[in-house]
């Protein structure tokens, strides 16, 4: 890959080398640039995703702007996620300065598409001239901005962006938001020689997506990737013609460069639960449904469920199957029949309608199969036919019913 230096006063990263930590020489140079308002505004929108709305560390509310070699490189971080992007600019004086993101985003958003002249003096005082307007804001020394994370011992993983998008989309919905369970706030990625598997669970539902269509580059191992990084990255996938995406996995960080931006993220340093140990192997009661029809019934019946529990009951019978709910608090109830291919003993299973709906939404097949054991044990939800190069397994824990 062609080296893309940023400037001499910050770290820069070339994916074929280690980080290079340069001196701070030139940090107090006057910065003089001319940049297009529209390009700057779009870059600031990208950077907003790593700029905390509230922080006890004031410098994190700023972005680092580095002017060098006809390029304006900008960086934002919340210390967990770091985003780097760059745009072309006319550089009259090279240097770096940190500017408040909110102020800069608001003024560029309020301006027409004009050229902006941005000058920062040796005291980091910044003047912006746009058309007939002049704006003066305080900046901060570039030396105060956090340095880039050091991705040591990096290993390369190459994926098609569509493949990576499928892995993220079909698992991230099941991630936990419970900060007391940090391992579950990320997805487990298992890199093997013949497949890559993503796993997510919040303790109530589990999603496992295994893909065979990726290029093995010699790295095998497991890492837990944070929810925020996955959701952010997924916004940039699928915009091209199924281009390759290169992930760099280090000891404590993961890095990706996609759609003109580079994203760094911490890896969650926790032990992931043994998910394979909770996948039942003896669920011998099989029910098959039209996925869209089942999802529609779940949504309609859930309207009348308790707002807190979202509990519905799936009644399975060889003669007639239906879904019910009852909410004593609002004196509401619902019952709707659903066609099912089922030949086992009669069962009533309680489920959280939101969780069941999420799972059905993330399976692509026309029909789904429920593999069950009892009303109080975990059930497997699978596509009736797996797609090429993909294996999807969903698990949902039941809720106790009064039946």
Whether 288 contacts 384, CB under 8 Å = yes
Q: What is the pLDDT of residue 318?
A: 86
Whether 328 contacts 367, CB under 8 Å = no
Q: Does domain 155-276 have CATH number 3.10.150.10?
A: yes
Residue indicated by tokens 């009951």? 313
Which residues 6+ apart lie within 8 Å of 111 measured at CB?
Answer: 37, 130, 131, 133
Q: Which CATH number, 3.10.20.30, 1.10.1060.10, 3.30.428.10, 3.10.150.10, labels domain 279-396?
A: 3.10.150.10
For the chain, the structural domain boundaries read 31-144, 155-276, 279-396
Task: Dump the DSSP string for 326-389.
Answer: EETTTTEEEEEE---EE-S--EEEEEEHHHHHHHHHT--SSEEEEEES-TTS-EEEEESSPPTT
In whole angstroms, give the CA distance from residue 295 to residue 236: 28
Q: What is the pLDDT of residue 239?
A: 62
Walk along the chain (403 residues) and give the pLDDT tens digit of each residue. 333 333 222 233 333 222 223 333 344 467 999 999 999 999 999 999 999 988 889 999 999 999 988 899 999 999 999 999 999 999 999 999 999 999 999 999 999 989 999 999 999 999 999 988 999 999 999 999 999 887 777 888 888 888 999 999 999 999 999 999 999 999 999 999 989 999 999 999 999 999 998 878 888 899 999 999 999 999 988 765 678 888 999 989 999 988 889 999 999 999 999 999 999 999 999 999 999 999 999 999 999 999 999 999 999 998 899 999 999 999 999 999 999 999 999 999 999 999 999 999 999 999 999 999 999 999 999 999 999 999 999 999 999 887 5
Q: What is the pLDDT of residue 20?
A: 26
Residue positions counted in the chain:
403
Q: What is the pLDDT of residue 38?
A: 94
Q: What is the pLDDT of residue 2?
A: 33
Q: How many CB atoms lie within 10 A of CB 16?
A: 8
Q: What is the pLDDT of residue 319?
A: 84
In whole angstroms, give the CA distance from residue 1 to residue 256: 14
Asked if the domains at 31-144 and 155-276 fall in one CATH topology, the answer is yes
The HSE-up count of residue 297 (CA atoms within 13 Å, CB side) is 20
In whole angstroms, give the CA distance from residue 222 to residue 236: 24
Q: Which CATH number, 3.40.50.300, 3.40.50.720, 3.10.150.10, 3.20.20.70, labels domain 31-144?
A: 3.10.150.10
């Amino acid at each position: 890959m062609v080296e893309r230096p940023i400037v001499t006063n910050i770290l820069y990263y070339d994916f074929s080398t280690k980080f290079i930590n340069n001196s701070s020489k030139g940090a107090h140079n006057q910065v003089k640039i001319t940049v297009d308002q529209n390009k700057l505004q779009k870059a600031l929108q990208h950077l907003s995703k790593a700029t905390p709305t509230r922080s006890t560390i004031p410098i994190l509310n700023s972005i680092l702007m580095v002017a060098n070699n006809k390029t304006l490189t900008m960086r934002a971080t919340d210390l967990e996620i770091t985003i780097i992007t760059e745009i072309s600019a006319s550089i009259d004086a090279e240097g770096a300065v940190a500017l408040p993101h909110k102020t800069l985003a608001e003024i560029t958003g309020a301006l027409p598409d004009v050229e902006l002249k941005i000058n920062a003096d040796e005291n980091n005082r910044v003047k912006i001239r746009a058309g007939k307007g002049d704006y003066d804001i305080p900046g901060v020394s570039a030396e105060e901005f956090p340095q880039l994370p050091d991705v040591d011992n990096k290993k390369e993983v190459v994926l098609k962006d569509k493949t990576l998008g499928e892995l993220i989309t079909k698992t991230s919905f099941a991630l936990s938001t419970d900060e007391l369970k940090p391992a579950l706030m990320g997805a487990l990625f298992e890199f093997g020689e013949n497949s890559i598997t993503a796993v997510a669970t919040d303790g109530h539902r589990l999603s496992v997506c295994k893909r065979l269509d990726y290029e093995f580059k010699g790295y095998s191992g497991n890492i837990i990737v944070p929810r925020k990084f996955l959701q952010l990255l997924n916004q940039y996938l699928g915009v091209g013609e199924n281009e390759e995406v290169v992930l760099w996995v280090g000891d404590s960080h993961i890095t990706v460069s996609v759609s003109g931006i580079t994203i760094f993220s911490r890896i969650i340093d926790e032990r992931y639960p043994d998910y394979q140990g909770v996948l039942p192997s003896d669920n011998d009661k099989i029910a098959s449904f039209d996925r869209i029809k089942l999802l529609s019934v779940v949504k309609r019946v859930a309207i009348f469920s308790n707002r807190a529990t979202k509990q519905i009951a799936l009644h399975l019978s060889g003669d007639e199957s239906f879904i019910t709910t009852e909410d004593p608090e609002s004196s509401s109830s619902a019952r709707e029949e659903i066609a099912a291919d089922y030949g086992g003993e009669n069962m009533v299973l309680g489920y959280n309608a939101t969780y069941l709906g999420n799972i059905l939404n993330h399976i692509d097949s026309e029909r789904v199969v429920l593999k069950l054991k009892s009303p109080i044990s975990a059930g497997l939800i699978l596509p009736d036919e797996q797609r090429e190069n993909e294996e999807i397994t969903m698990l949902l824990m039941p809720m106790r019913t009064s039946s």
